[in-house]
Every structure is written in C-alpha cells, then in structure tokens.
C-alpha cells in the first residue's frame, strides 16, 4: 500500500504503542547513558537507549513488519549515512514530572531529514511531529535519560550531566524497527534497515535480538560480543545471569520469584569477593584489589542461570537498587569457555559499611543453595559465626 493510499484507508495496519522505528546507538557506546538511566529512567528495563523516529508504529502482526521494512528501505534509499553527536542536554516539562534528555548537537539536520522521509512514507504515524493533546507541533529528536519530580530537580540533573557526561558520537547507517510482546517486556530489534539502500547487513536485515538492560562498566568485551552492535542480546540461547545471593536457592528463584531458568550450572566469578554491603546488609560482589582476599580464594562462587528475555527483565526489576553489570564467568566445567553474563552489583555510592551481619534467613538461603549446587567448599559465606560454620 502506497503512502498516498495509506492516508485514505483506515483498514491498513493499526498503530501500536508496542512498536516503533528508531535510532539505536551501537552497544559499545551505551555505558554512560545506561549509568544515568539505570536508576532514573522508568523505561530502563524495557527500552534500549534510542531516538524515536516513528512512535507509535504499525502493529507487529503477520507480515506487517516485513512489509514495513521494505517500505522504509525505499523511503531511505536517497539518504546517505551521516555522523551525529548527542551533546545537547535539555528537558521536557510534564504535568507531574520532568524528563531529561540529550539530543543531537551535530547531525540534527540529518536526523530531521531522516524522520521526515519516514513520516512521508507513513503519514498516519506522525504522533512525534503533531500531537496537540501533548503540545507537540514539531519533531524534537531526543534520547531520554530519566525522569525527575520537579523542574528544579531536572535542571540540576541536566546541569550535572552537561559537565560530566561525554558526547555520544556515532555514524547513522540504519534505523531499527522494534516491537515488544507486552508493555512490561523488553523491546526486540526485529529489523535493521540501511540508509542509501545499504547497511551492515544489506538494505533490510532480519535481526530479532532482544534488548538486555546492562552495563559493561569498563569491562572489555570478548570475541564476537565485542563486535556486536547489539551486545549480549545477540548471543543465542538466552541471557545468562550470575547468581550469588538468594537466587542460588532453587526454591527462592523458581517457586517464590517465579523465574524459570532455561538451564543452570555452577560457576565462579574470578577477581571478585562476596560482601554484605548492599542495603539491609544484603549481598554484593566487589572487585578484589591486588593482594586482597583470604589465601586460596579464587572468586565468588555461584550459579549461572540462562533466562529468557522476559524473565531477565522481571528479575532486573526485582533486584532493587542493584546495577546489572556484564562480566565474564567461568563455569565449573573447565572445558567450557567463560560465559558472558550479567551480575547485579550495588554501586559504590549506595553501599553501606561492611561488617554488619546479613539477615539470618538470607544467609540460610545461600547456604541451602550452595549445597543444592555443590558449590566449592572453599567458598565461605561471611556472617554470624554459627551460620558460617554450617557450611563447614
């Protein structure tokens, strides 16, 4: 159906707030953005860092997305890739909150041309350009960073970001066509469509990679993960989470939390130690300093759980005040390569002093899980004396 026909026929694909066409920076540029979003953006678990171009977009049903991707490719065939630098920090005022965002300082005209080409092709999907109910009269390209309660709070946040957050510079070569199953589940990049009739994998490439809310936090990627513009979401078979606290306990994870791993295996996170310095003296993993740690200590022992994207998102929402950090974890089976996984870490500024005893029930869950998974006997759980001795 042509753009002209679409504007006259309401029988075409309906618009859906679970679909969008957007720009997504390459994964290796996300970390500073994700650090800000993690505790400030309610959409952190669901949306990747992005600039929406068309939202809402066609419902992802039947062959709608395949047809849409081909139409997008035609609409963008006359545009060439361009550089964009996200360096313009601003905010939106809402009725009960304010959103801080960063937009293009350089490359803004390119983004505007790109969005206009898409809007001409899909004239019914112009909500980001004209929506009088929200006071929108023109398209404002932006990447949302978080939400604050008041104008004063957001102005303070924006001022701090201007002074500390580095500009995000990347080459716009493609747009992403994304969708999600439910409003609380993470988006999946369904198609990537290249500008100028070309892209990293051709004019139209089927992707089907889920967004994984995580940060690298200075850790280098290994192998193909480092080269992937979609990060750990591009790994086949599920998303690995390294559990070291109550989630090593099968009953707690599966029966109480309702998280059903696709598969699990014992493993060790080398170069870290277990600490109880999260809020409430809950568990945390802390990088080992040179020469630190008891003799013979080789890291934190726990369990690698492979989860589907929806369960991983659910777990991330449950892990209150923890930051999802990507690490390389060694399975007990030494014949296996290290696994790129996500571990939940308490940021330094949110930790409490060490030495406070963790809750007794929490420690018992860990000890029970350690027995269930036959975790290495060198792994000691600090805590009240008798509980630490229970593992003996």
Tens of pLDDT, residue by residue over 178-208, are: 999 998 899 999 999 999 977 666 689 999 9
pLDDT number for residue 294:
55
pLDDT at 11 over 90: no
Q: 3-211 in CATH: which number?
A: 3.90.1140.10
Residue range 239-390 in CATH 3.10.490.10: yes
pLDDT value of residue 137:
77
* Rounded average pLDDT over 308-318: 95
Domain residue extents for the chain: 3-211, 239-390
Average pLDDT over residues 216-226: 50
Q: Closest by alpha carbon to 89, among 98, 79, 77, 76? A: 98
Residue range 142-160: mean pLDDT, rounded:
97
For the cut 50, the answer to whether the pLDDT of residue 288 exceeds it is yes
Answer whether residue 98 shows pLDDT above 70: yes
**Average pLDDT of the segment spanning 342-355:** 93
The whole-model pTM stands at 0.88
192 has which bridge partners?
176, 205
Name the least confident of 18-27, 99-108, 190-199: 190-199
Contact in structure between 259 and 315 (CB atoms under 8 Å): yes
What mean pLDDT is reported for the chain? 88
How confident is residue 291, by pLDDT bands cut at 50, 70 and 90?
low
Tell me: pLDDT of 391 over 70: no
Give the per-residue pLDDT at 210: 95
> Do residues 20 and 57 lie in contact, with contact meaning Cβ atoms separated by under 8 Å?
yes
- Is the pLDDT assigned to residue 317 strictly greater than 50? yes
């Amino acid at each position: 159906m042509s753009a002209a026909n679409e504007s006259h026929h309401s029988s075409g694909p309906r618009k859906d707030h679970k679909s969008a066409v957007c720009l997504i920076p390459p994964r290796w540029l996300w970390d500073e953005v994700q650090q800000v979003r993690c505790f400030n953006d309610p959409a952190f678990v669901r949306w990747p860092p992005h600039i929406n171009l068309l939202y809402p977009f066609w419902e992802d049903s039947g062959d709608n997305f395949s047809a849409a991707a081909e139409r997008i490719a035609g609409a963008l065939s006359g545009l060439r890739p361009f550089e964009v630098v996200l360096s313009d920090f601003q905010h939106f005022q809402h009725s009960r909150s304010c959103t801080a965002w960063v937009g293009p300082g350089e490359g803004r005209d390119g983004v505007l041309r790109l969005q206009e080409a898409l809007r001409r092709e899909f004239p019914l999907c112009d909500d980001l350009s004209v929506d009088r109910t929200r006071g929108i009269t023109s398209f404002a390209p932006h990447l949302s960073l978080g939400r604050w309660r008041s104008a004063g709070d957001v102005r303070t946040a924006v001022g701090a970001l201007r002074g500390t957050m580095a500009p995000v510079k990347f080459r716009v070569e493609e747009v992403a066509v994304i969708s999600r199953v439910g409003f609380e589940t993470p988006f999946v990049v369904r198609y990537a469509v290249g500008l100028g009739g070309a892209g990293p994998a051709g004019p139209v490439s089927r992707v089907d990679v889920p967004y994984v809310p995580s940060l690298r936090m200075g850790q280098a990627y290994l192998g193909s993960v480092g080269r992937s513009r979609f990060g750990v979401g591009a790994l086949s078979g599920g998303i690995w989470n390294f559990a070291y606290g109550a989630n090593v306990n099968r009953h707690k994870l599966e029966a109480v939390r309702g998280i059903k791993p696709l598969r699990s295996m014992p493993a060790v996170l080398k170069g870290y130690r277990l600490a109880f310095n999260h809020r409430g003296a809950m568990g945390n993993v802390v990088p080992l300093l040179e020469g630190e740690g008891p003799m013979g200590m080789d890291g934190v022992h726990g369990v690698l759980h492979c989860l589907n994207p929806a369960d991983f998102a659910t777990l991330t929402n449950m892990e209150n005040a923890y930051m999802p950090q990507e690490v390389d974890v060694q399975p007990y089976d030494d014949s296996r390569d290290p696994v790129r996984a996500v571990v939940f870490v308490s940021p330094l500024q949110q930790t409490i002093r060490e030495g406070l005893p963790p809750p007794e029930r929490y420690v018992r869950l860990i000890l029970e899980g350690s027995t269930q998974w036959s975790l290495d006997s060198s792994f000691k759980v600090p805590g009240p004396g008798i509980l630490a001795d229970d593992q003996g």
